[in-house]
Copies of this chain bind each other. A is one copy, B any other.
Amino acid sequence: MIRLGIIGYGYWGPNLARAAAEVDATEVAAIADPSAAARERAGRRHPSARLLADWREALGDPAIEAVLIATPVASHFEIALAALRAGKHVLVEKPMADAAPNAALLIEEATRRGLTLMVDHTFVYTPAVRALRELVTAGSLGDIYYYDSTRINLGLFQRDVNVIWDLAVHDFAILDHLLEASPVAISASAASFVADSPDNIAHLSVYYSSGAMAHLNVSWLAPVKVRQTLIGGSRRMVIYDDMQPSEKIKIYDRGIAVSNDPQQIHDRLISYRVGDMASPALSAKEALVTEIEHFAECIATGARPLTDGESGLRIVEMLTAATRSSRLRGQPVELGALREAS
């Protein structure tokens, strides 16, 4: 049984605590939040947990082996670094840090101490993304041509991060997991239509060395909620619609075929393949529970998490590149150049 400290009990912390309480291998030993009201809520739901006003107390408790950090982004680096230095394993909310160099320091610290460092990119642990990953690795889709995602809704407006850091971060995590490749450049356009608010709509184009392209449409200013991704491959294409209660994933045996038949060469080279569609039944297991089980297992075995520090760093780099390009009206920002500069 791994004893956990939950740091931050605002919007997301209660979800982490609830999931951790459901996982057999973990126990919520302490919950830290500066707000008395938050601690009171925490106490009612987790009567056996220590309630702390200062997260440093959790780090000083030798009975606590690992911490889950769900505080504002700006504090991720400081708390995670202190936790690692106190010998705790760390699962930190996304994005891992507000800047790539800080993310790199966390990786270094965790490596030196042999501790598990994991980033809470929850989508990677959903049954839908697990199924997509299997399709990609099994070669069912063939070569990946594009990933095209629409992630829009009305609100919630954030004050401390723009819509790229708030929403595109999910697609970056899914892309990093599915493609196992880092992009070479990102072009982004963004705009804010609310005074004194960070950018609230954005479109991002992500270039890969394989020729694959990703495109993300993120917005806090849409009349309806959409969570839809199209993935096009040389063999099959997928629609992943996260708003559907069932049939979230539809796999289309469709594509084009280019004829090499010299008879047809002057005629019509490109024909269409329109085959069946299939929609696999997905597990109903909650992603957060799967994720915390994985965290516990990585701590126990020393295995590398699916969403380890390195992937967290790559995602912070993508977020940084995208925000930079958005200030240049879509001028592409090279990821390599960015990394060298930092």
Contact = CB atoms under 8 A, between A and B. Distances in A.
A189 to B, nearest CB: 4
Given A155-B272, A189-B207, A332-B330, A278 B281 contact: no
Given A155-B272, A277-B279, A330-B331, A223 B207 contact: no
A55 interface: no
A253 B223 CA distance: 8
A227 to B, nearest CB: 11
B187 A330 contact: yes
B329 A201 contact: no
Nearest to A234: B193
A50 interface: no
A69 interface: no
Contacts of A123: none
A328 B234 CA distance: 25
Contact of A254 (B154, B238, B278): B154
A58 B339 CA distance: 64
Contacts of A154: 254-256, 272, 274
Contacts of A275: 281
A205 B330 contact: yes
Chain A interface residue bracket vs B: 35 or more
Interface in A203-249: 203, 205, 207, 211, 213, 215, 217, 219, 221-225, 230, 232, 234, 237-239, 243, 245-247
A195 interface: yes
A224 B240 CA distance: 12
A327 B90 CA distance: 43
A189 B215 contact: yes
A269 B329 CA distance: 28
Contacts of A211: 191, 193
A230 B224 CA distance: 10
B189 A221 contact: no
28 contacts: A145-B191, A146-B193, A146-B219, A155-B256, A157-B256, A157-B270, A187-B187, A189-B207, A189-B213, A189-B215, A193-B232, A194-B258, A205-B329, A207-B329, A217-B217, A221-B237, A221-B256, A222-B230, A222-B232, A222-B237, A223-B230, A223-B232, A224-B239, A224-B252, A225-B245, A274-B281, A276-B278, A279-B279
